[in-house]
Amino acid sequence: MSSFLHVSVSCIESIIDAPATLSKPNKRWHLAFATIYCSRALHSLLNKKSKKTSKLPLSTHSSVVLNVEPHLAFSYIDHTSLTEVVKKKNLDQLREFGGVARVADALKTDAKNGIHGDIEDIARRQKAFGSNTYPRPPAKSFFYFVLEAFKDLTILILLACATLSLGFGIKEHGLKEGWYDGGSIYVAVFLVISVSAVSNFRQNRQFEKLSKVSNNIKVEVVRDGHRQQISIFEIVVGDVVCLKIGDQVAADGFFLHGHSLQVDESSMTGESDHVEVNSHHNPFLFSGTKVADGYGQMLVTSVGMDTTWGEMMSTISRDLNEQTPLQARLNKLTSSIGKVGLAVAFLVLVVLVVRYFTGNTEDENGNQEFNGGKTKANDIVNAMVRIIAAAVTIVVVAIPEGLPLAVTLTLAYSMKRMMADQAMVRKLSACETMGSATTICTDKTGTLTMNQMKVTNYWLGKEPVEDSSSIDTHVLKLIQQGVALNTTGSVYRDALGSKIEFSGSPTEKAILSWAVLELDMDMEAIKQYYAILHVEAFNSEKKRSGVLMRKKADNTLHVHWKGAAEMILAMCSSYYDASGSIKNLDDGERMTFEHIIQGMAASSLRCIAFAHVQIPEEEQEISEGMQKLKEDSLTLIGLVGIKDPCRKGVRKAVEDCQYAGVNVRMITGDNVFTARAIATECGILRPDQDMNGEAVVEGEVFRNYTPEERMEKVGKIRVMARSSPFDKLLMVQCLKQKGHVVAVTGDGTNDAPALKEADIGLSMGIQGTEVAKESSDIIILDDNFASVATVLKWGRCVYNNIQKFIQFQLTVNVAALVINFVAAVSAGEVPLTAAQLLWVNLIMDTLGALALATEQPTKELMEKPPVGRTEPLISNIMWRNLLAQALYQIAILLTLQFKGESLFGVSEKVNDTLIFNTFVLCQVFNEFNARKLEKKNVFKGLHKNKLFLGIIGITIILQVVMVEFLKKFANTERLNWGQWGTCIGIAAASWPIGWVVKCIPVSEKPFLSYLKW
C-alpha cells in the first residue's frame, strides 16, 4: 500500500497550492485538475478495499494514468487526461475541465488569434506534448529483396540447371575445368538477382520518398492572428486549425467555432454516415478523418502518437509490391516461353538419347559411341551427362529472365522522370494505363485556367459600375455585409495596416480583395455588428452559399446569398438599381439580366451574384427555429464578373492530345456561355463547332437523357457545363461502357467517385483536396493541363520501351533456341555453351533492358492512335521485325555451324568462337534496330541518349575481353583482325535487313490472335 501511495510531497504541494500569479481561468483549471487527481487516488484506495464486495467498475471512462509532474511550461494541464477525453468523446469530463474555452486558456491559446507561433513557443510545445509525427515501420532491407528474388520460379530453374551442370561438368572434365558451365550459370543467377534486388530496393526507396511527399499535407492555421499554411508535421498542441470541405483533420482536438461542419469518420470507425460536429453535443475531432461539409476551426489537443490515427498508422506499412497489369502479362509471357523451352529441351533429350542408344553418334576418333554390351558403364554415364548438359543449355537460353526486370527498370525510370515533369505517381499501373488513354475529362478552373482570379466587372441594376463612389450608401453597405459575412476566406492586416493578406479559395480571395481595396470594406468592423446564426456552405452541387444573421443593434434577421449568377437570379423577385431604389423583377427585366450574365460569360468571365432579404418580424421566430435560410423573394444587390485567364501552353497541350487521337472533354460547374468561351479559347471546341448543340450540354440535360440517348450522344460531347459531381461520374461510366480508356482530372471532394471510377484518376496537387488526392492514381503537382499531356506522353513511352525490349529479347531467344535445337538434333552437340548463352542473356537482359528502358518520349509517340485496351502485347509489327532478324541470324549461324570450318579454313574451336562472336555482335547491331519499331531511321535522336551509347560501348568491350582473354571460361579461341572484321560485317547486315523489312506492310488483324499473352 505504501508503494502505491508513494508520491513526492513537493509534487502534491505543487498540485494543491495554486500560485497567486495565475489568471482566474487557469486557477479554475488548476483546481479541477487537483480535485480530479485527489478523488482518483481516494477512489482507487477504496476500490482496493472493497474489491470483493463491490460490483461497480472502478470508473466508467476515467481510469486514466495521470501525469503528476507535467512539463513546467504547461504545468496546469494534465495532457494524458485531456487526450483520453477526446479519444473517448467524454463530454461530461470536458465540462468538468470547464469546457473548450478553459482548455484553450490552459494551453495558452487565444481562440481567435491562435498561439504566438514564434520559435521558442513551438519548441516548448513540442517538448511538452511531442511533434505531429509517428514512427514508421522499419524500411525493407536490401536482403529482403534478395530473398524475394530467390522465390522467382525462373531463378529456381536456373539454380537447378547450375547444380546439374556443375556436377556433370566436374564429373566429365574434372574440378579444374569442369566448373566453368555450372559456375557461369551461378554467376548469371547472382547477377540477375543482384540487378533485380538493387532495382527493387531503389524503387522501394523512391516510393518511400514519394510517400513522404504525399503525406506532407499543407494545413491552414491561425498564429498570432495571421492565417498561414504550414506542413502537417509542424502542427503543435494549442494550434488553431482552419477546416473546410475536403480537408483532412490534421490532429485530435476540439471544435472551436464554425458552421454546418460534418466529418467523415469512416477511416476510423468504418461507418459511412457523416458525423455533425458542433460546440454543444459533439465538439470532438479526430486526426485522419475528412471534412465532408461546412467549415470551422479546431483547437489541437493531441498530436503524433497521442492520436488514435498516429497509433494506427505507426503499425501500418504501405505495401509496395504492387504488380502492374503489364508486369502480370509479362510474367505470363515469361512462363509461357519457359514452358516452350522445357518442351524443346525434353524433345532434344529424347532425340539425343535415342540417337546415342541406336548407335548414331560417334566419338572424337570417329568410332561408334554405343556398342551394346561392349560399352563401359562409365562411358554411358559420361554420354548421358553430356546429353543432359545440352538439354540444360536449351532451358537456360529459353528463359527470358530479363523481361520482368525490364518493366521494373522502365517504370522506376519513368516515375523518376515524371516527378521532374510535375507528376507524382501514386499507383504504378497508372504509368502504363495512361499510354492507352483514349479520352481525357478535365476540369476548367486551375487546370485549363491559371486560377488567378480578379474581379473585372461590377453591375448594379442594369448598369456597369466604373467608380465605387457612385454606389448608393445603403447598397454599398449591403454588398460589404454580403462579402464580409458570407465567406470562408479572411483578411489579415499587419499592426501598421500597410500590409493586407487575403486567404481562402481563389474566388473568395478575388471577391475579398475587390471589396477591401475598391469598396473600402472593413471586415472586422462589420463582424462586430452582426451575430451569425446559420450558414449554408458552398459546395459544387448547390453552387451557392448563404448566411442567416442577426443585427445586434435592432435584433432584425437578414439573409445574404452569393453564388452562380443565374441560380441567384432565379431566387430574386426584385433588384436594386444604380440609385439604390428597389425595382420589381418582371419577366422583361429578368431577360435583361440574363443577357448581361451571358455577355459576361461570353467574355470568359465567371459571373457571381449577390442577393439579400430582411426577414419580416412575423417570420423571425420560424426562421430562427428552423435554422433554414429563405430562398425566395430576394433582392438582387449586384453582379460581379471574375476573370480567370487561360494557362499558357494549354492550347498546344490540347492540340497535342487531339493529334495523338485522344479526345479532350471539359467538365465544369460554370454556365454554358463561360464554358463555351473557355473551351474555344483552349482549342477543345472549334469556333464553328456545336452548330447542332450536341458538343456542349448542361449537366442537368445530360442527367435527364435516357440511358440509350446518353450512350448515343456521349461520344459527341466536348463540353459539359453546370455539371454536378454525379454528372461527371455518369459521363465517365458511359465513356467506359463505349470502350474508352478514360483519364479524369479532379480537385474537389465530390470528384472522388469519378476519380475512382476512371481508368486513370488525376488529382491536382495545389487546389486538390486530400480526399481527391487519395482517390487518384497520379497527382499533377502544378495543376497544369500541359502536365496531363506530358503524363500521356510518358505513359506511351513506358509501353513503347517495353515493346522494344520484348522484340529485342525474343529475337535473341528464338534465334538461340532454334540454332541449339537444330544443331543438337542433327549433330548431337550444341555450338553455344551454357556459359556463352548466359553471357548473351546477361548483356541483353540487364544492359539491353537498361539501354532500351531509358529511351525518352519522342514526338512520334504522339503521332499514333492510342493502344487499345485489348491489343496484344506483341504487335504484328514486332512479329515482322523479330522474325526477320531471327531468321537471318539462324540462317547465318547454322551456315557457320555446318560449313564454317571449310569456308574459313579454321579449326572447330575457332569456328565455335566465330559463331559465338557473330551471335553477340548481331544482338549489338539489332539493339539499334529495336530503338524504332516502325521508323526506318533508327539513329534519330541517338546522340541524346548517352546511356544507350555507353551501354553499347561497354557490351563491345566486355565481348572483346570474353573472346580474347577469358578463353577457358568462355570456351573460346582468340580471333585475328580478319575474323573480327568478318563477324562485324555479318552482324552489320542486320541494319539494311531491318530497313528493308520495315517497308513490308502488315495486316491489322493480330498475328497469332488465338494466343492471349
* Residues annotated as part of the active site: 443
Provide the residue type at 40 as one letter: R
CA distances (Å), origin 3, targets 7, 8, 11: 9, 11, 16
CA distances (Å), origin 578, targets 517, 570, 634: 21, 21, 17
Question: Directed axis angle between helix 587-602 and helix 672-682, to 10°?
Answer: 20
DSSP 843: I
HEC sequence for 92-134: HHHHHHCHHHHHHHHCCCECCCEECCCHHHHHHHHHHHCCCCC
* DSSP string of 781-826, one letter each residue: TT--HHHHHHHHHHHHHHHHHHHHHHHHHHHHHHHHHHHHHHHHHH
Calpha distance 752→245 (Å, rounded): 13
Calpha distance 889→874 (Å, rounded): 20
Calpha distance 964→959 (Å, rounded): 8
Provide the residue type at 179 as one letter: W
DSSP 695: S
- Cα dihedral sign for 969, 975, 977, 979? negative
Calpha distance 212→59 (Å, rounded): 41
HEC sequence for 377-419: HHHHHHHHHHHHHHHHHHHHHHCCCHHHHHHHHHHHHHHHHHH
Compute φ and ψ for 354, nearest 5 degrees: -60, -45
Neighbour order of strands in the sheet with 742-746: 423-425, 778-780, 760-764, 742-746, 439-442, 663-667, 719-721, 696-698
Residue 834 buriedness (CB in 10 A; 0-12 / 13-18 / 19+): buried
Calpha distance 426→324 (Å, rounded): 12
Cα 385 to chain centroid distance, Å, stands at 54
CA distances (Å), origin 487, targets 173, 335, 473, 641: 88, 61, 22, 17
Calpha distance 133→151 (Å, rounded): 36
Of 648, 647, 685, nearest to 665 by C-alpha is 685
Strands 760-764 and 742-746: parallel
CA distances (Å), origin 456, targets 523, 564, 611, 640, 892: 21, 16, 19, 8, 76
CA distances (Å), origin 910, targets 178, 758, 822, 905: 20, 60, 20, 10
